[in-house]
Chain A
């Protein structure tokens, strides 16, 4: 990892207000809006006695990952390739892979910061307890972030232009949001549906985060699904990514 490139990419991210909004502010804003609905603050038996706002904190965290890894990253990477920025860097002693690595680090850190913000907003505004199994929560979060970045890299690998990347990005956005539980939390889904959704990266991540939030170590099955997706998607991205 080249630190000059990393610093530059951080600086450039700060100049993108739209990206900052969607990755960093939108998940917590959504949480604040949902939390301000009175019914979201009443304990619900169908959610194991938790309040909907409690359940929506991990979902907000996952939205941050979707916005950065699966939406932001492919746009940036495809644009860098399309406009010859990667080509220019490949005739310097620093390889263009440094730019990809820096982008992933920047997007990943922005998403994790957004996750922390969602936890803080949940705690401060609505009294949502912080994850009771922090190590398990962190592990699930890092694995979910890795799979989101890998997914974004695959989208970028398959897209020749930023337009295509945008189209693929919006096509996969809704399934990802759904599997993360934005409309129905995964824990409240009908059993058959939940079983399928838990095999997707964000479905598995949603369950793993739920478990760690309530104090259990996340099931190895869910972590395994996340790890498997990460390996599979990374392999596909490496296989198909074109530098120009």
Chain B
């Protein structure tokens, strides 16, 4: 089965500056694929090329085999989109917006259950300009789905939502995927990416820094596992330093904090057992996607210096 979205060596520059610099990835049917990266990394430009809003300078983009620029109408029929910054006419009601956008598609979904699922039923007669930020966002999700798309692009979907609304939205995205729609999700929230995505492309300065499953990305980071404890008797510094796959050692008073991999954990346990030392308040914590992300992407300060 062909991929739903194929991006090959995508390039786009503005004023001589490469914003997207050779990005390639494929999104498979039924997947939630995340694009994660710092602000200004080229995430939005990449998905705007997928949506046909921008014409790439180089490379190839295909959505179910169609070129988003040359076959725009075909791509627009199968690909729903929620844009990062857009509005509707202020005096258009929710019902009118749903009816209008349904009329744009040959085989639209019934908008009533969609509005129901998004909690918009009580707001059908409310004008767009009177909706709260979260309600506007939910309406845009409904509009992205109203055409009965095979895939949707959701760009910074939960930005500006309160934590509760964000969790509700995550639930909704999982339901959308369960209904057979492929999801391309742009985000800068680690928790969101970790919770929802099957695979994540980390984009930094227009390039893909890593592409893996969330747990794969975490495993890649140098200090993927953090072990901390207070030993019941002093430990030899040299023995600690010789631990396999060790990334860092830190001492604070009695407490020792090590970072490394599963291998390091095994070795620490063996070492302690050999010396009959008890590890008090032992904590073994997996690194989060945050740690992996910080390892993979360079800080903005370095970019300024370059």
Using CB atoms and an 8 Å cutoff, list the residues of chain A in contact with chain B. 2, 4-5, 8, 11-12, 15-16, 80, 83-85, 87-88, 90-95
Contacts and interface: CB of A to CB of B under 8 A. Distances in A.
Contact of B53 (A11, A80, A90): A90
Residue from the set A15, A84, A85, A93 with the largest chain B CB neighbour count within 10 Å: A93
Which 10 A/B pairs are nearest by Cβ-Cβ distance?
A84-B86, A4-B103, A88-B86, A83-B87, A91-B81, A92-B104, A93-B76, A15-B91, A94-B104, A93-B73
Contact of B83 (A8, A80, A88, A94): A88
A42 B65 CA distance: 75
B26 to A, nearest CB: 21
Contacts of B106: 93
Contacts of B262: none
A88 B76 contact: no
Residue from the set B79, B89, B92, B104 with the largest chain A CB neighbour count within 10 Å: B89
B88 A85 contact: yes
Nearest to A5: B100
B109 to A, nearest CB: 14
Contacts of B104: 2, 4, 92-94
Given A85-B88, A88-B143, 11 more contacts: A2-B103, A4-B104, A8-B100, A12-B89, A12-B92, A84-B86, A87-B86, A88-B83, A92-B76, A92-B101, A92-B105
Interface in B176-200: none
Contacts of B85: 84, 87
A100 to B, nearest CB: 14
Interface in B69-101: 72-73, 76-77, 79, 81, 83, 85-89, 91-92, 96, 99-101
B86 A92 contact: no
Nearest to B87: A83
Given A84-B85, A91-B51, A92-B147, A12 B76 contact: no
A88 B81 CA distance: 8
Nearest to B89: A12
A11 B96 contact: yes
B80 to A, nearest CB: 8
B34 interface: no
B238 to A, nearest CB: 61
A90 B81 CA distance: 10
A91 B89 contact: no
A108 B241 CA distance: 81
Contacts of A87: 53, 83, 85-86
A108 B147 CA distance: 31
A15 B104 CA distance: 23
Interface in B142-196: 143, 147
Contacts of B83: 84, 87-88, 91
Nearest to A243: B53
A95 B88 CA distance: 15
